[in-house]
C-alpha cells in the first residue's frame, strides 16, 4: 500500500514542502529511505520503528520504502520523523491515508513516541500557509512560536505531546489543543542611560546612531565606560515592526536561539559575541547552514567590544554581509542565505596602552609603530563604514562617587529618536529617499535630502582638506548631518550640523597627529 504525509524542509529561511511517500510491500522486512536523506534522516527509521512499536504497530513483516520528494532537495534533521511515522502507519494499514492530506506534520520522535521540539517551526509554518495547508501539527514545546503563524496566516495549528495522541486525533478518537500564543514575547531587559554619569558626547553619539541607524565606534582607554554606554543602545531603538519581528524570530528559530515557550521577538536583538568568536560563530556555518551572530543581530545591534582583539578573518568576513544586508553560507553540500543587516556598534582602545590621543589625561607610552600595528588589526573597510567614531574619556572619579546627578533617562532620549526616525520614514514614504534610515541613504538620496548650502559646502571642503578625509567620509558626514537636523526637526542642514558631524571621525586622522 502507498501512503503520503506532508512536512516542510528549510533552506536558510526558505520553506520547501516535502512529501513523505511510504510504500509497504510483502517480503523480507526492510526499511529504506530514499530521496536525498542525510544521515540524520536515515536514522529516523530507528526512532519511527520504536515509536510505532510503542503504539502497537510492529513493522517486522513489512518491506518499507520511504521516498522523500522532491528527490533533488537535501533532507536533513529529525524534523521529518512525525510525518514519516504517520505515512508508515497508513502504508501498513494502520490508518486511513486520506486523513493525512491537508495537514502538515513537524516533530522529532523519541524511541518512546514522545514528540520533541525542532528548529525553524515559524518559517516552516509560514511555508505551510503559503502552500495551502489548512492545518499543522507541531511539538508542544514549539507551540508559542507556532501560534504566531496561526494568528497571522489563519492556519490551524495544533500541538501534540506524542505520536499516540496525534494518531487518536486523526482517527477522530481524541482531541489536540490549539497552539497557544505566549503571553511572554521576547523582551530583553534594558539598561538605562540614567546610570551613566556625565559623558555628554558619548550619550549624544548613542542618540544620533539610534536616530539615523548609524554604525558607531567608541575609542577610549579601559574603564572609560565604553561597554557600559554600548549596552544602552537597544533601549533607544524603536520596537521591531510586525514584519521585522517575524523575520528576526524566524532567524532565531532556525538558529535554535528562541527561548522555549516564548513568542515573537519584539525588541531589537543585541548580540555581543566575545572577541574569541570563531568565523563560523560570527558569520554562520553548519550543515544545514545556521545563522551566525551577524544574522542573529539582523535589524538589531551587533556589538563588537574590543574590536582589535577579534580574529582578522572574522572581521574581514563581516564586510560582505554588512555591505549586502545578507550573508550566503556555502558548504560542500549545501548553501543558504540569511538576512544580516545589523547596526554595528564597536569599542576599542586607541592603542595597546589605551591612552593614545588622551594626552591631556595620561601620556601614551606606545611607539608610533606599535600604535599603527594595533590599528592595522582593525581592517580599513570595516572602520570605513562606521559613520560615527568618537573618543570616550573616563569621567572624573569625583563625578563617579558623588551624589547621582540628573542624567537623562532612556525613555526621554528615545522619544527624540522616534521623532527623528518618523521624519526619515516620511521622506521614504514620499519617495524622496530609497531607504528608511539616514545611514542607508544612497549618494543620489544625499543630493536630494542632505545637500549643504553654499556656505556649508565651503566649510565642509575646508574641513575635509584639513583633516585629510576621504571622499567616502564626505558622504558619511552628510548622512550624520542629516540625522542631526532630523533630531531637531529641521529640513535644512546647517554648517553647524556639518561641523559637528565631521567631529565624529576620530580615526580618519593620522596617528602621528595625535601622539604629540
Ligand atoms: N560615566 C560613567 N558613569 C557611571 N559609571 C561608570 C562610568 N564610566 C565607567 N563607569 C563604571 O566603570 C565600569 C567600567 O566601565 P566599562 O564600560 O567596562 O569601561 P570600558 O568598556 O571603557 O573599559 C562600569 O561598569 C561602571 O561601573
Ligand atoms: Mg569594555
Ligand atoms: Zn599607547
Nearest-atom number in ligand 1 for the CA of 305 is 21
Distance from residue 362's CA to the centre of ligand 1 (Å): 18
35 within a domain of the structure (yes/no): yes
Report the pLDDT value the prediction gives residue 508, as an integer from 0 to 100. 61
Mean pLDDT across 317-339: 89
How many other C-beta atoms lie within 10 A of the C-beta of residue 56?
8
Ligand 2 centre distance from Cα of residue 276 (Å): 15
The predicted structure's pLDDT at residue 362: 85
Residue 288: which residues within 8 A CB-CB, separation 6 or more?
10, 11, 74, 76, 77, 334, 336
pLDDT 10s digits, 255-266: 988 877 777 888
- Ligand 2 geometric centre to CA of 221 (Å): 9
- Per the domain annotation, does 17 fall within a domain? yes
Which of the four pLDDT bands, split at 50, 70 and 90, describes residue 154? confident
| C-alpha separations of 21 from 14, 101, 166, 418, 493 in Å | 22, 12, 19, 53, 65
Choice between 73 and 338, residue whose per-residue pLDDT is larger = 338
- 43 in a structural domain: yes
Q: Label residue 514 by pLDDT band (50, 70, 90).
A: very low
> What is the three-state SS of 26-88?
CCCCEEEEECCECHHHHCHHHHHHHHHHHCCCCCCCCEEEEEEECCCCCECCCCCHHHHHHHH
Are the CB atoms for 109 and 47 separated by under 8 Å?
yes
pLDDT of residue 186: 57
Ligand that lies nearest to the alpha carbon of residue 404, given by its number in the listed order: 1
- As a whole number of angstroms, the distance between CA 26 and CA 435 comes to 63
User: Residue 515's pLDDT is what?
Assistant: 42
CA neighbor of 204 nearest in space, from 236, 231, 234, 238: 236
Tens-digit pLDDT profile for residues 32-69: 998 888 888 888 999 999 999 999 998 888 999 999 99
Q: Which of 206, 225, 345 to mutate to test the pocket of ligand 1 (most atoms within 8 A of CB)?
A: 225
93: containing domain: 2-178
Instruction: List, for residues 186-238, the tens digit of each pLDDT value.
Output: 556 678 999 899 899 999 999 999 999 999 999 999 889 999 999 999 999 99
Please give the distance, rounded to the nearest whole angstrom, from the Cα atom of residue 313 to the centre of ligand 3: 25
Does 133 reside within a domain? yes
Nearest atom within ligand 1 for CA of residue 218: 22
Between the CA of 382 and the centroid of ligand 3 the distance, in Å, is: 22
Least confident stretch, 328-332, 338-342, 466-470, 512-516 = 512-516
Q: What is the mean pLDDT of residues 131-150?
A: 92
**pLDDT band for position 509 (cuts 50, 70, 90):** low
- On whether residue 98 sits in a domain, the answer given is yes
Distance 350 CA to ligand 3 centre (A): 7
pLDDT of 513 strictly over 60: no
Using DSSP, how many helices (H) and how many strands (E) does the chain show?
A: 21, 19
Question: Which ligand has an atom closest to residue 373 CA?
Answer: 3
Among the listed residues 392, 399, 313, the one whose alpha carbon sits nearest the alpha carbon of residue 346: 392
Mean pLDDT, rounded, for 129-142: 95
- Which residues keep their CB under 5 angstroms from ion ligand 3? 351, 353, 356, 364, 366
Q: How far apart are CA 433 and CA 428, in angstroms?
A: 5
| Within-domain flag for 491 | no
Is the per-residue pLDDT at 3 higher than 70?
A: yes
| For range 277-287, the mean pLDDT | 91
CATH assignment of the domain containing 163: 3.30.230.10
Question: Could you give the number of structural domains in the chain?
Answer: 1
Task: Identify the nearest ligand to the CA of 225 by its number.
Answer: 1
Domain assignment present for residue 156? The answer is yes
The arithmetic mean of pLDDT across residues 353-381, rounded, is 84
Pocket residues for ligand 1 (CB within 6 Å)?
A: 196-199, 220, 222-228, 347, 395, 400
Which residue is closest in CA terms to ligand 1's atom 14?
223
In a domain, 212, yes or no: no
- Locate the ligand 1 atom nearest the alpha carbon of residue 394 and give its number: 8
Amino acid at each position: 500500500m502507498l501512503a503520503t504525509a506532508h512536512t516542510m524542509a528549510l533552506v536558510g529561511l526558505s520553506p520547501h514542502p516535502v512529501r513523505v511517500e511510504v510504500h509497504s510491500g510483502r517480503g523480507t522486512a526492510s526499511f529504506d529511505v530514499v530521496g536525498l536523506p542525510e544521515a540524520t534522516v536515515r536514522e529516523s527509521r530507528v526512532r519511527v520503528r520504536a515509536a510505532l512499536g510503542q503504539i502497537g504497530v510492529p513493522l517486522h513483516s513489512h518491506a518499507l520504502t520511504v521516498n522523500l520528494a522532491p528527490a533533488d532537495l537535501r533532507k536533513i534533521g529529525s524534523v521529518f520523523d512525525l510525518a514519516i511515522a504517520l505515512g508508515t502507519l497508513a502504508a501498513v494499514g494502520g490508518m486511513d491515508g486520506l486523513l493525512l492530506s491537508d495537514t502538515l506534520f513537524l516533530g522529532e520522535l523519541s524511541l518512546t513516541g514522545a514528540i520533541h521540539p525542532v528548529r525553524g517551526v515559524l518559517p516552516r509554518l509560514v511555508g505551510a500557509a503559503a502552500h495551502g495547508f489548512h492545518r499543522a501539527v507541531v511539538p508542544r514545546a514549539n507551540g508559542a512560536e507556532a501560534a504566531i503563524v496561526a494568528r497571522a496566516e489563519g492556519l490551524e495549528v495544533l500541538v501534540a505531546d506524542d505520536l499516540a495522541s496525534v494518531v487518536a486525533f486523526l482517527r477522530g478518537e481524541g482531541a489536540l489543543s490549539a497552539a497557544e500564543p505566549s503571553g511572554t514575547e521576547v523582551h530583553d531587559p534594558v539598561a538605562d542611560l540614567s546610570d551613566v554619569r556625565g559623558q555628554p558626547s558619548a550619550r549624544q553619539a548613542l542618540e544620533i546612531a539610534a536616530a539615523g541607524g548609524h554604525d558607531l565606534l567608541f575609542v577610549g582607554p579601559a574603564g572609560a565606560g565604553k561597554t557600559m554606554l554600548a549596552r544602552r543602545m537597544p533601549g533607544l531603538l524603536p520596537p521591531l515592526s510586525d514584519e521585522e519581528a517575524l523575520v528576526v524570530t524566524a532567524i532565531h528559530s532556525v538558529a535554535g536561539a528562541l527561548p522555549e515557550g516564548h513568542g515573537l521577538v519584539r525588541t531589537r536583538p543585541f548580540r555581543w559575541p566575545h572577541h574569541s568568536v570563531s568565523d563560523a560563530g560570527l558569520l554562520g556555518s553548519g550543515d544545514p547552514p545556521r545563522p551566525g551572530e551577524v544574522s542573529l543581530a539582523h535589524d538589531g545591534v551587533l556589538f563588537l567590544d574590543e574590536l582589535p582583539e577579534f580574529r582578522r578573518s572574522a572581521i574581514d568576513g563581516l564586510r560582505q554581509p554588512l555591505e549586502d544586508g545578507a550573508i550566503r553560507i556555502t558548504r560542500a553540500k549545501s548553501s543558504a542565505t540569511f538576512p544580516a543587516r545589523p547596526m554595528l556598534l564597536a569599542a576599542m582602545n586607541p592603542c595597546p596602552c589605551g591612552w593614545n590621543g588622551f594626552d591631556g589625561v595620561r601620556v601614551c607610552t606606545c611607539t608610533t609603530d606599535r600604535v599603527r600595528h594595533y590599528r592595522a588589526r582593525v581592517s580599513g573597510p570595516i572602520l570605513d563604514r562606521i559613520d560615527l567614531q568618537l573618543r570616550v574619556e573616563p569621567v572624573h572619579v569625583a563625578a563617579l562617587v558623588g551624589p547621582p546627578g540628573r542624567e537623562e533617562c532612556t525613555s526621554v532620549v528615545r522619544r527624540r529618536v522616534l521623532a527623528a526616525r518618523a521624519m526619515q520614514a516620511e521622506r521614504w514614504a514620499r519617495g524622496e529617499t530609497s531607504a528608511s534610515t539616514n545611514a542607508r541613504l544612497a549618494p543620489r538620496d544625499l543630493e536630494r535630502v542632505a545637500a549643504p548650502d553654499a556656505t556649508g559646502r565651503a566649510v565642509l571642503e575646508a574641513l575635509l582638506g584639513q583633516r585629510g578625509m576621504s571622499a567616502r567620509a564626505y558622504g558619511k558626514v552628510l548622512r550624520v548631518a542629516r540625522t542631526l537636523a532630523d533630531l531637531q526637526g529641521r529640513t535644512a542642514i546647517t554648517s553647524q550640523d556639518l561641523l559637528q558631524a565631521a567631529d565624529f571621525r576620530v580615526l580618519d586622522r593620522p596617528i602621528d597627529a595625535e601622539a604629540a
